Amino acid sequence: MSIIACRRAAAPALAALALLGCAMGDRGAADRGYTMADFASVPKFDAHVHANSADPALIDQAKADGFALLTINVDYPDFPPLAEQARLARRFAAAAPGRIHFATTFPMQGWGDPQWPERTSAAIAGAVSEGAVAVKVWKNVGMEFRDRSGRLVMVDDEGFRPVWQAIERLGIPLIGHQGEPRNCWLPLDRMTTANDRAYFAAHPQYHMYLHPELPGYEAQMAARDRLLRRNPGLRFVGAHMASLEWSVDRLAAFLDANPQATIDLAARMAQVQHQSVRDHAKVREFFIRYQDRILYGTDLTHGPGDDPAAFRENAHRVWLSDWRYLATGEAQRIDNIDASPRGLALPRGVIDKIYRLNARRVFLGERSQRGGRG
């Protein structure tokens, strides 16, 4: 056989080896993980913020740090009126298409009227036509709002059924904030994180330890779970780690029982870190096992009266701290838990999903070519 013939015969085998080497190289890079130096260059998505100020500080910092954003409208007394939140969301989304996205919500006013479900469904459909990619149901359902007879309305109430069905037909996810962190049902001095102690000290109306007449923690979780069982086609995002932030075991059981559900990490990173101080391997394995079901989010809120420069500095600090914890193995001081947890050092492929790909799939319908477990 000539040298040329030998080369031709060897070419397919060499090509196959080269492809295998490239694949192994890509996998090796993915397994190596990111560093702090990668933070600025990796595209990211914060799937839970509140852009409630006309000042673009949050948007500007997101651009500087490589984030797309989902700003979520909420019927919360501390926030601007819903119409103003919606106006700002549309304005920011139009000014930064592809980078800023928004979720709508609905008020409970008029609950009990025969027209309420149809009116609410139509309003949600209208918001979707204007660009909304999800709809939020807040903790006032189950913790605050009462019907005309004085009965507390829970999220699994049959009166919501037409609205959930309408959301399912629209093909958008429902973001659910039901209940609160389990700390909410404890006295302040027994709470596991300083941020929870500060919030509930400032908002005693939501500190359920002070309101034993209202449904307990497990009752809130059970109502949410009944909603999902009765509406298996409804895609669901459990905001704030589905209020199961205190236990990755409970979170795993929730995700296993509800294949249509994902969770976001908004405002609950300290609870994750609290667990990882005690069992680092278990927390890391949870994130790897459920890498397709977790969305990065912070709950950063830019209000009308906030100083823009101070807000940008704080947003950058939060985003850097979370990246250090999730993407690297570095330890850092976390005042909220009075400890210095070691980072999870998640593989690159896992970070890419949690920080971008999952949110783009859940909210924007994008499909990644990458596989995953969980």
Q: Per-residue pLDDT averaged across 109-135, rounded?
A: 97
Q: pLDDT value at position 276?
A: 98
Helix (H, G, I), strand (E, B) or coil at 177: coil
Work out the mean pLDDT of the chain and round it to a whole number: 92
Strand partners, 134: 103
User: Would you say residue 355 lies in a domain?
Assistant: yes
Pair (200, 344) in one structural domain: yes
Residues 6+ apart with CB under 8 A from 28: none
CA distance 80 to 306: 13
Q: pLDDT value at position 214?
A: 96
Pair (239, 272) in one structural domain: yes
Pair (6, 147) in one structural domain: no
Pair (21, 166) in one structural domain: no
User: Would you say residue 3 lies in a domain?
Assistant: yes
Q: How does pLDDT run across 289-320, given as a tens digit for each residue?
A: 999 999 999 999 999 999 999 999 999 999 99
Cα–Cα distances in angstroms (integers) from residue 15 to residues 12, 25, 343, in the given order: 5, 15, 39
Report the percentage of the chain scoring pLDDT > 70.
90
Helix (H, G, I), strand (E, B) or coil at 258: coil
Pair (149, 209) in one structural domain: yes
Q: How does pLDDT run across 185-221, given as a tens digit for each residue?
A: 999 999 999 999 999 999 999 999 999 999 999 999 9
User: Would you say residue 371 lies in a domain?
Assistant: no
CA distance 279 to 274: 9
Split into its structural domains, the chain has a count of 2
User: Would you say residue 71 lies in a domain?
Assistant: yes
Task: Kindly provide the residue ranges of all beta strands, DSSP E only, lying in 78-214, ordered along the sequence.
Answer: 100-105, 134-137, 174-176
Q: Three-class SS string for 109-147?
A: CCCCCCCHHHHHHHHHHHHHHCCCCEEEECCHHHHCCEC
Q: Give DSSP secondary structure letters for 32-62.
A: H---GGGTTTS-EEEEEEEE-SSS-HHHHHH
CATH number of the CATH domain containing 172? 3.20.20.140
Q: Cβ atoms within 10 A of the Cβ of 3, count?
A: 7
Pair (27, 94) in one structural domain: no
Pair (25, 47) in one structural domain: no
User: Would you say residue 275 lies in a domain?
Assistant: yes
| pLDDT bracket for residue 231 (50, 70, 90) | very high
Q: pLDDT value at position 311?
A: 98
Pair (90, 218) in one structural domain: yes
Q: How does pLDDT run across 53-95, given as a tens digit for each residue?
A: 999 999 999 999 999 999 999 999 999 999 999 999 999 999 9
User: Would you say residue 374 lies in a domain?
Assistant: no
What domain range is 1 assigned to? 1-32
Pair (7, 96) in one structural domain: no
User: What Rg do the C-alpha atoms of the chain give, in angstroms?
Assistant: 23
Pair (25, 59) in one structural domain: no
Residue 129 has pLDDT above 70, yes or no: yes
User: Would you say residue 256 lies in a domain?
Assistant: yes
Pair (7, 80) in one structural domain: no
The number of residues in the chain equals 374
Pair (166, 287) in one structural domain: yes
Query: The pTM is what?
Result: 0.90
